[in-house]
Amino acid sequence: MSSGKVTVEAKGERELVITRAFNAPKDLVFQAHTECRHLKRWMFGPDGWSLDVCEIDLNVGGKYRWVWKKGEIEMGAGGEYRVVSRADRVVCTEQFDNPWYAGEAVSTLTFDESGGVTTLTNTMLYVSKEARDTVLQSPMEEGLTLGYDRLESLLDESAAAAGGE
Amino acid sequence: MRYLSTQSRQLDATFAALADPTRRAILARLASGEASVNDLAKPFKMSQPAISKHLRVLENAGLISKSLDKQRRPRRIEAAPLKVANEWIERYRQFWEVRYDHLDLLLEEMMIEAKPKTKRRRKENE
């Protein structure tokens, strides 16, 4: 049962704002975003990606690390918590091990509860407009796949060039 | 690959153009039909050169074009780049929708788990 539709707004030049309402108190939505046993249950990608490694030190200045896995392929990301206001707000940095966009992103999660429904807002701030638009075009595992596709098409091109000569 | 980078540049230009509220208002106005620069300037407390500057940004992004009528040079909206931008947003949105649908199921479970615990605790206290 879905409690609401996800909305996405490309705000200003460097932000993506993702919002979604959940039929649950904010304490639980907060826990689901900050505890590994819960994150492993939902924060994976489609097509067989699982969140294999999860480490979280939920304190200001504390680090977190996530590693997704699909078959033999791994993709890691991590960052540092800057603001931890239990059940209301979390601010953390986010950087992938093999980023396909420039710089470190800053994610601000806010949890607003009203009448048993919690509205989650995730504001992602990127270092540049280019980085923001790259993420919008290839979120997460698509970015990785895109990397492989690029390599493949490069190989195809050089093979075609070699064959043409 | 070359196709993708052209598309990326187009998307950059589209989002940059849409980042400004005046330009979004101009597009909203043009969505209901073509209009001259004067008509477009009217609702804004802005000089005509200021409006023309916004129109140039929209034009360079391919979001609007000039009609052939040489005298009035009315502007009209170009739908294709906006459609592409919306498609990227929609794909990104679906990426999150899949995750949040899983989160919905998890939260339902968490709520069921949370309830008996409070009852049990109450009994233990008795």
Which residues in chain B have their CB less than 8 angstroms from residue A8's CB?
89, 92-93, 96
- In order along its 165 residues, chain A shows pLDDT tens digits of 345 789 988 888 899 999 999 999 999 999 999 999 999 999 886 667 889 999 999 999 999 999 988 888 788 899 999 999 999 999 999 998 877 778 899 999 999 999 999 999 999 999 998 888 888 877 664 544 444 444 444 445 555 555 543
Q: Kind and range of the H or E element at A70?
A: strand A63-70
Which residues in chain A have their CB less than 8 angstroms from residue B108's CB?
1, 23-24
pLDDT in tens, B30-57: 877 888 888 888 887 788 888 899 999 9
Cβ pair B11:A133 closer than 8 A: yes
Which residues in chain B have their CB less than 8 angstroms from residue A40's CB?
none
Proportion of chain A in helix, strand, coil states, percent, rounded to 5 = 30, 40, 30
Phi, psi of A130 (to 5 degrees): -60, -45
Q: What is the pTM of this model?
A: 0.68
Other CB atoms within 10 A of residue A149 CB: 13
Q: Which of B104, B109, B112 to mutate to test the interface with A (most CBs of A within 10 A)?
A: B104
For chain B, say whether A112 makes contact (Cβ under 8 Å).
Answer: no
Where are the extended beta strands (E) located within chain B?
64-66, 75-77
pLDDT in tens, B94-119: 888 888 999 999 999 999 988 765 55
